[in-house]
Structure 1
Amino acid sequence: MTTEKGGATLFDEQQADGANSGGAKAEAPQGAAAPSAKADSKADKPAKADKATDGEAPRRKTAQELAERQREISVSEFFTKNRHLLGFDSPLKALLTAVKEAVDNSLDACEEAGILPEVVVEITPTGEDRFRVAVEDNGPGIVKEQIPKVFGKLLYGSKFHKLSQTRGQQGIGISAAVMYGQLTTGKSSRIVSRTGKRYPAYEAALTIDTARNKADLHDEKTLADWHREHGTRVEIEMEARYQKGLRSVDMYLKQTAIANPHVQLTYVDPGGERVVYERGTKELPPEAEEIKPHPHGVELGVLILMLKETSARTLSGFLQEEFVRVGPKVAEEICHTAKVSEKAYPSRIAREEAAALHAAIQKTKISAPPTNCISPIGEELVLQGLKKEIEADFYAAVSRPPSVYRGNPFVIEVGIAYGKPGGVGLEVTDEGRIQKRKSVTVSEELVGAADEPIRVLRFANRVPLLHQQSACAVTKAVIQTNWRSYGLQQPKGALPIGPAAVLVHIASVWVPFTSESKEALAAYEEILKEIKLGLQECGRKMGTYIKKGQRLRSEFDKRSYIEKYIPHIGLALQEILDLSDKERDGTVGTLDDCLQKSRKF
């Protein structure tokens, strides 16, 4: 196919170009002017950037022009455009996330200061799909200089480099809530804090400069008559949506009360209803001690950085000072395996030597890290929390021995509440009689119906996880457990069916969340194994109870069947033995007592 172009075909032009490129200079046809010098000079000039050259696509921008448009992005700017990473991807979820982050900060502050927490949560509607979230605590307070950094600077905190159990880890949460409120309403947040009764409270309005990741304070003043001797209050107005349900603020606070029986929570919902979750114990959890990293959990890049920054003079000293569970003998073994001198200066270790050192660490048998850095709830308090907030017939709990993943110690705790009060049930009296249990009215259900999947209550460092249940290691472990062995029905690849709530809590110095929003646990093999073992141990206890109930039902049915014939037996004996009516009734009573006491449970 040929294309016409100015009276000549494209094929003819290609032939002419080929002849010229072959080295023979083509003669100009008669009557045609020779190419001018001006045309030659134009041909020698480089093509402009926005025009096409021979056979090349047009270039819109040069590297220099692109470089002028490149600039650094602040953390605040990034999360402003990617707020879904922090749990603010919908108005409904945003309300829960804001409350969660503020409550987590309050509980951590109170426990670190040795104060029994008293937390007040208030949600007040201010317009259509707008709410003011206020969280107040009786903690130690925050000094004036730190307030703009705590509430207005993302990735700022005291826990990121600290290896001990805390609720917060990243230094993002409460600042992200302030940023979300500012983004959706344009309003500043209000902060009030007091560090002691001898000092006045400090109040300020706060906004975040996202370009600089820095807070701006407005309307600063002191309050001499604030009602708390010490504590902090934060108020954030935001665009949000409120509704009750399994993933609501109400459910989050109820589950927080289960996992934190030492906390008193007061909640005022948008309708003005006030709910108080009283504390079940006046003892604070044991304080979690900070530990150094375990050698088996360090990665090569981190190891190289630690070698450069250490103040130790020798490699052996570095291993003993910077890591836990490393003594002189272990350090000597690591250096010998890596073929590196124990007296080598750490900052002069080459990358190849560091790689050999890292490989030697993984091969060396090192004791597990100490567990005083974690503070589990404990079996008794798990049971107490379940009984305090969930009406059920049977409770069981287990706290697994400490284990390790990637050098990080962790403890798995499991609790089960089984049976729904108000349903049909039986009980055995002290005299051995079987009778129907009295029904109980349940106002809020954490235990589902007998034909519904069980409820899974997930916790990480005492914090409820309400979203991304299917992506969580806890749910995977529950599904992989064979619940048929314990008396529950279970469809293939799904949660078991029955009136039960299963609580799973992981306590660790570093919880492996799947994202920054901290909504699901990563499925490490060691964690899955411990969760399954805890579920199986609690499952066996529940299975024993269920089988006992089945035997009780069978015995009750048999006794009910026999009871129908006891009066007839009495009449027959009266006729045979010529008994009086009184003697007959006594005989019937004796037979009934023998029947009821024939088997005890």
Structure 2
Amino acid sequence: MSSEKYTSISPAEFFKRNPELAGFSNPARALYQTVRELVENALDATDVHGILPSIKVLIELSNPEKQVYKVNVEDNGIGIPPHIVPNAFGRVLYSSKYVLRQTRGMYGLGVKAAVLYSQMYQDKPVEVYTSPINSKRIYYFKLKIDVTKNEPVVIERYSVSNDKGWHGTSVTLYLVADWQRAKSRVYEYIKKTYVVAPYSEITFRDPDGNVVYYERITDKLPKPPEEVKPHPYGVDIELIKYLINQLKKPVPVREFLINEFQSIGDITADKILELANITKTKKVNNLTDEEISRLVEVMKKFEDFRPPSAEALSVIGEDIIELSLKKIFNPEFAAAITRKPKAYQGHPFIVEAGIAYGGAIPPSPEPVVLRYANKIPLVYDEKSDVIWKVVSEEIDWKRYGIEEDQPPLVIMVHLCSTKVPYKSAGKESIADVEEIEKEIKLAVMDVARELKIYISEKKKEEEAKKRLITYLKYIPEVSRSLAIFMVNNKEKLNEAQNSLREKLLELVLKRLEIEDKQLLEEIKNYKVEEV
């Protein structure tokens, strides 16, 4: 009888063996994902902390023979304390983002997955320069990840004087990549990042020497998210046990509920404990597994909780979305909406939508869909995403005045939540959660109705202009005929004719309700003989 051999592996080893789970499935996708992870970190180190972002992205071919590319991203953010740097870049599932508030990253994986992929196919370590705000030193690290132990291996470290007062972080990674296949996705990602962060300035230089600069067009920053307590609807047995273990000293279960959860006050706590048949004075660390299970069941079914707090969320804002759409796509019409907070499974979320129509937007068979989650552009896996499903399959655009033949239309949707239901660790598509899908549809319909009003008014004005042209053809003849009946003196005929023409024209314009100021000016200045 043969015996099976059992062993365990570290989180780093797991993601090294399964890089596709984090979006590193091939050299092209790996390059895009690396840029994305570094830019996300740069934005989280700036706008969340009230700093207008200045971000520099550089990609260059380091080793043509092995197709090794150097990727560098520098920001002007808060910087990283030097004692944190090794774990921040060298320990998988170590993160500052394991709190209940909206962040671009979620898993404490991101940049570490890029480091793991980097060291799998070439030998250069990750390089980090960082200086926290007000620090008099700039700290440098060169490190790798010990995959077996899931620990950082610091190869080199030193610090230099920070004479110029620089603060922020600069990260350089080397990886085997495919620029030609990744090129369009990287450019798309940076452009779409700028759409939701027009308060940033972004400089990008690609391996071909091309430089793209996105200038800051507003100094207005979105309100940063705040850390909040968990909501009872999102509770589970393991969360209760985790919160109990974090207590500095044992407390009565009633006090535990009031202090550790939002939406639970004195009266609500008493009701919950009564329904769960738990004595309110019992120390929380003495709860049995059965009692914890009952407590969780009651909390999930309790109907009188207030909705989760939206303080943990940071929206882009209607004015910023509209400003971006106008600046980048130069449409003839743009509108945006930020919906009111909603919740799913105890997690608050807000949906925002923007629409741009006509103008310089190139025609396409379908609306162009810009998908965002917690301000992150979603570039891959479009047709498996609930946003694409709503925009392309559930909205009847004919109802809003959009015809099938190549509508020049851009639809932007942003979902922000303390827990975005991604379909995979690669964070490229949002799952079909009923509450979220409904809100996305309502948000898109809201901006579509504004577009419908605009298109309707535009059509009315175009029809009025057509009728005006017809009237203009007859006004000279009518005014001439009337003038003949009014005056016998030939010398006064032209004067009467012009006076009648102006009055007839005024009546026509008033009747047609034309508001095109430029057209009105042109019409008022025309001469009878020109018509």
Structure-1 separation of matches of 2:294 and 2:406? 52
Partner of 2:216: 279
Partner of 1:397: 336
Partner of 2:386: 473
Q: How high is the TM-score relative to the length of structure 1?
A: 0.78
Structure 1 window deviating more from structure 2 (223-232 vs 165-174): it is 223-232
Partner of 1:262: 199
Structure-1 separation of matches of 2:447 and 2:182? 27
Partner of 1:221: 158
Structure-2 separation of matches of 1:419 and 1:127? 45
For the 8 Å contact 1:411–1:508, the answer to whether it is kept is yes
Superposed CA RMSD in Å reads 2.6
Secondary structure of the residue that 1:145 maps to in structure 2? Answer: coil
How far 1:332 moved relative to its partner? 0.6
Secondary structure of the residue that 1:251 maps to in structure 2? Answer: helix
User: Given the superposition, is the C-alpha separation of residues 585 and 112 from structure 1 closer, same or farther in structure 2, using an over 3 Å criterion?
Assistant: closer
User: Given the superposition, is the C-alpha separation of residues 390 and 226 from structure 1 closer, same or farther in structure 2, using an over 3 Å criterion?
Assistant: farther
Structure 1 window deviating more from structure 2 (190-199 vs 501-510): it is 190-199
User: Given the superposition, is the C-alpha separation of residues 318 and 196 from structure 1 closer, same or farther in structure 2, using an over 3 Å criterion?
Assistant: closer
Partner of 2:454: 545
Correspondent of 1:485 among 369, 392, 399: 399
Structure-2 separation of matches of 1:95 and 1:345? 52
Unaligned 5+ runs, structure 2: 516-531
Secondary structure of the residue that 2:179 maps to in structure 1? Answer: coil
How far 1:534 moved relative to its partner? 1.1
How far 1:585 moved relative to its partner? 6.0
Residue 77 of structure 2 is aligned to residue 149 of structure 1: no
For the 8 Å contact 2:223–2:314, the answer to whether it is kept is yes
Structure-2 separation of matches of 1:201 and 1:79? 31
Correspondent of 1:81 among 17, 28, 46: 17
Q: Which amino acid aligns with 2:224?
A: E
Correspondent of 1:121 among 57, 61, 72: 57
Residue 231 of structure 2 is aligned to residue 294 of structure 1: yes
How far 1:127 moved relative to its partner? 4.4
Partner of 1:338: 276
Q: Which amino acid aligns with 2:60?
A: T
Correspondent of 2:35 among 84, 99, 104: 99
Per-residue CA distance 1:196-242 (angstroms, 9 max, x = gap):
56533222322222222222222433344686611111111222233
Residue 399 of structure 2 is aligned to residue 460 of structure 1: no
User: Given the superposition, is the C-alpha separation of residues 466 and 226 from structure 1 closer, same or farther in structure 2, using an over 3 Å criterion?
Assistant: farther
Structure-1 separation of matches of 2:144 and 2:366? 45
Secondary structure of the residue that 2:359 maps to in structure 1? Answer: coil
Q: Which amino acid aligns with 1:360?
A: V
User: Given the superposition, is the C-alpha separation of residues 304 and 228 from structure 1 closer, same or farther in structure 2, using an over 3 Å criterion?
Assistant: closer
- Counterparts of residues 183-332 of structure 1 (less than 5 Å): 183-196=120-133, 199-224=136-161, 229-243=166-180, 248-307=185-244, 310=247, 311-332=249-270
Partner of 1:109: 45
Partner of 2:288: 350
Partner of 1:509: 418
Q: Which amino acid aligns with 2:401?
A: G
User: Given the superposition, is the C-alpha separation of residues 204 and 109 from structure 1 closer, same or farther in structure 2, using an over 3 Å criterion?
Assistant: same
Secondary structure of the residue that 1:458 maps to in structure 2? Answer: strand
Residue 320 of structure 2 is aligned to residue 384 of structure 1: no
Residue 461 of structure 2 is aligned to residue 563 of structure 1: no
Q: Which amino acid aligns with 1:81?
A: R
How far 1:283 moved relative to its partner? 3.5
Q: Which amino acid aligns with 1:339?
A: N
For the 8 Å contact 2:192–2:377, the answer to whether it is kept is yes
Structure number with greater CO (CA < 8 Å, separation at least 6) is 2
How far 1:82 moved relative to its partner? 1.3
Structure 1 window deviating more from structure 2 (560-569 vs 268-277): it is 560-569
Q: Percent identity?
A: 32
Structure-1 separation of matches of 2:142 and 2:390? 46
Secondary structure of the residue that 2:83 maps to in structure 1? Answer: helix
Q: Which amino acid aligns with 1:106?
A: A
Structure-1 separation of matches of 2:242 and 2:156? 44
How far 1:178 moved relative to its partner? 1.8
Per-residue CA distance 1:393-442 (angstroms, 9 max, x = gap):
11111111111111111111111111133xxxxxxxxxxxxxxxxxxxxx
How far 1:352 moved relative to its partner? 2.8
Structure-2 separation of matches of 1:396 and 1:498? 17
For the 8 Å contact 1:204–1:217, the answer to whether it is kept is yes
Structure-1 separation of matches of 2:109 and 2:246? 26
Partner of 2:528: none
User: Given the superposition, is the C-alpha separation of residues 520 and 226 from structure 1 closer, same or farther in structure 2, using an over 3 Å criterion?
Assistant: farther
Q: Which amino acid aligns with 1:187?
A: K
User: Given the superposition, is the C-alpha separation of residues 75 and 232 from structure 1 closer, same or farther in structure 2, using an over 3 Å criterion?
Assistant: same
Structure-1 separation of matches of 2:198 and 2:231? 31
How many residue pairs were aligned? 505
Per-residue CA distance 1:436-481 (angstroms, 9 max, x = gap):
xxxxxxxxxxx440x5211111111111111111111212222323
Larger Rg: 1
For the 8 Å contact 1:448–1:455, the answer to whether it is kept is no
For the 8 Å contact 1:448–1:454, the answer to whether it is kept is no
User: Given the superposition, is the C-alpha separation of residues 229 and 306 from structure 1 closer, same or farther in structure 2, using an over 3 Å criterion?
Assistant: closer
For the 8 Å contact 1:474–1:521, the answer to whether it is kept is yes
Residue 323 of structure 2 is aligned to residue 414 of structure 1: no
How far 1:312 moved relative to its partner? 4.0
User: Given the superposition, is the C-alpha separation of residues 384 and 506 from structure 1 closer, same or farther in structure 2, using an over 3 Å criterion?
Assistant: same
Residue 409 of structure 2 is aligned to residue 500 of structure 1: yes
Structure-1 separation of matches of 2:15 and 2:311? 35
Partner of 1:24: none
Unaligned 5+ runs, structure 1: 1-48, 50-61, 422-446, 491-495
Secondary structure of the residue that 1:598 maps to in structure 2? Answer: helix
Per-residue CA distance 1:499-543 (angstroms, 9 max, x = gap):
111111112222221111111112211111211111111111011
For the 8 Å contact 1:207–1:216, the answer to whether it is kept is yes
Q: Which amino acid aligns with 2:370?
A: L
Q: How high is the TM-score relative to the length of structure 2?
A: 0.88
